Amino acid sequence: MLDDDLRAQLADWVAPLADLPRPDISTLRRRTWRRRMRGGAATVAAAAAVAAAVSIATLPGSGRHLVARGGTPAAAPGTWYPGRWFAAGKPPAADASVAAAPYVVRVANGAEVVTDVFTGAAAGTEGRPPGGRFAAVAAAGDDRTFVLAAQTGMSVSFYEQRLGPHGRPGSPALVFTLPASSVPAFAVSPDASLLGYATPGGIGVVSLTTGARRSWTAAAGEVVGLSWAGDKALAFAWAGTAAGEIRSVTVRLLAISPPGSRLMAARQLVPVCANSNGQLCLEQHPLGAAGGPKVFVTDQFNGNGTLVADVEEFTGDTGRIVFGDKSLPNSPAAASACSALWTDPAGEQLAVYCAGSTTIVGGRAADLHVPINSSDVQNQTFAW
């Protein structure tokens, strides 16, 4: 019997099963609920071994290339579309006020809306991409260049878009696609040449200019937030896991120039912290300054029974806390919704969103109209 004969016979034999009615998803929910009520069913060993085929690569000083060196090319999946990338404009001057960055992009209902934060007026809108919907957005350093992610079937497409005069959105250009069933956390470098994204158990970086890729992996954990701190380092929040449970949360700074693929070789900026009851602090939403090396981190912690939050600033050079306790509202409602939204290239000024309002720390006070809610930061549906 030929292989093809056997293949055909098997396919014919089971073909009627493909026509069986698919139960409603509520059936699955009931099964899940019943198992929980029983106190947990036997855990199936999850398969998902992460293939860590990683190259040793280096990033030249221009920050525009990821070049394999002394090994196989990076095996991170994805499709790069040459010739579509365009560089970000010059970032605002280091001493520029927040007024130099008036445009924010928010994704809503699969489309994007550009808003001027000083007037609150919509500068423009862009409809859904072909065959999908925008799901998340990240900003480069110039306040004009953004990367939007769209879910299309079982892949995620990244579109680069530059705002025109008065914040009017141009046509999004497809620059990269990634096989993934949902949009990962991602960030675009200040000069818009590199796209960093979370992978199962690690981080991938693709050069939008050359298509070269690198990846870094770790044994057990998840990247829960990403931000570039300059064009050569990625700040990321890392949740270390064991048996599917989060055991630690740290913030690390990954220099992408040195060779190597161990994610845990990235320097730890913020160590694990827990209260006296062993409850972990949640250090998340890292926000790097475009000029590097400063990184702001939102830290939510449970102290004395009250959830509080602060935004702390670290230097990427030393890993030292420069200052903390940024006088943020100290209530559960505020703390659960605090995050750093924007900083100038030097990291001197910081826009912080807390409990429905946005304030500028370290800079000129301004009347801001930031059209977001707390879930926008969490879901990365907002970028400034």
Nearer to other proteins, 97 or 177 (CB): 177
> Which positions ≥6 away from 2 have C-beta within 8 Å?
none
Pick the stretch among 319-327, 351-359, 360-368, 372-380 that binds other proteins (CB under 8 A): 372-380
Q: Which is nearer to other proteins, 20 or 365 (CB)?
A: 20
DSSP state of 169: B
Asked if 198 is part of the footprint of other proteins (rule: CB under 8 A), the reply reads: yes
CB of 136 to other proteins, least distance (A): 4
Query: Taking CB under 8 A as the rule, does residue 184 contact other proteins?
Result: yes
Residues of span 241-260 touching other proteins by CB under 8 A: 244
Tokens 């000069």 belong to residue: 191
Q: With respect to other proteins, which residue has the nearer C-beta, 139 or 361?
A: 139
- Judged by CB under 8 A, the residue of 74, 104, 282, 289 near other proteins is 282
| Residues 196/187, Cβ–Cβ less than 8 Å | yes
Q: Which of 347, 366, 349, 348 is nearest to 357 (CA)?
A: 366
**Is residue 121 within the footprint of other proteins (CB under 8 A)?**
no
Contacting other proteins within 290-349 (CB under 8 A) = none
99 or 272, CB closer to other proteins? 272
| 227 is a contact residue toward other proteins (CB under 8 A) | no
Q: How far apart are the first and last CA of the chain?
A: 63
Say how many residues touch other proteins, by CB under 8 A. Answer: 58
* Closer CB to other proteins, 209 or 381, in the complex: 381
**Least distance from other proteins to the Cβ atom of residue 347, Å:** 24
Q: Which stretch binds other proteins (CB under 8 A): 22-30, 119-127, 257-265, 267-275?
A: 22-30
What are the beta bridge partners of residue 202? 199, 217
Nearer to other proteins, 101 or 150 (CB): 150
- Mapping DSSP onto H, E and C, the string for the chain reads CCHHHHHHHHHHHHHHHHCCCCCCHHHHHHHHHHHHHCCCCCCCCCCCCCCCCCCCEECCCCCCCCEECCCCCCCCCCEECCCCCCCCCCCCCCCCCHHHCCEEEEEECCEEEEEECCCCCEEEEECCCCCCEEEEEEECCCCCEEEEEEEECCEEEEEEEEECHHHCECCCEEEEEEECCCCCCEEECCCCCEEEEEECCEEEEEECCCCCEEEEECCCEEEEEEEECCCCEEEEEEEEEECCEEEEEEEEEEECCCCCCEHHHCEEEECCCECCCCCECEEEEEEECCCCCEEEEEEEEEECCEEEEEEEEEECCCCCEEECCCCCCCCHHHHCCCEEEEECCCCCCEEEEECCEEEEECCCCCCCCCCCCHHHHHHCCEEC
31-60 residues near other proteins, rule: CB under 8 A: 31-32, 35-36, 44-49
Instruction: In angstroms, give the least distance from the CB of 182 to other proteins.
Output: 4
User: Within 76-105, which residues bind other proteins (CB under 8 A)?
Assistant: 77
Among 148, 194, 212, 239, binds other proteins (CB under 8 A): 239
Residue number with CB closer to other proteins (25 or 365): 25
Measured CA to CA, the distance from residue 239 to residue 272 in angstroms comes to 10
Map residue 325 onto helix, strand or coil: coil
Site string for other proteins, 203-222 (x = CB under 8 A): -------------------x
Determine the interface stretch with other proteins among 118-126, 310-318, 352-360, 373-381 (rule: CB under 8 A): 373-381
Please state the closest distance from residue 270 (CB atom) to other proteins, in A.
15
177 scored as a contact of other proteins (CB under 8 A): no
Quick check: 181 binds other proteins (CB under 8 A)? yes
Query: To the nearest whole angstrom, how small is the minimum distance from the Cβ of residue 242 to other proteins?
Result: 13
Q: Which residues contact other proteins (rule: CB under 8 A)?
A: 1, 3, 6-7, 9-11, 13-14, 16-20, 22-23, 25, 27-29, 31-32, 35-36, 44-49, 77, 135-136, 149, 151, 153-154, 179-185, 198-200, 222-224, 239, 244, 282, 284, 378-381
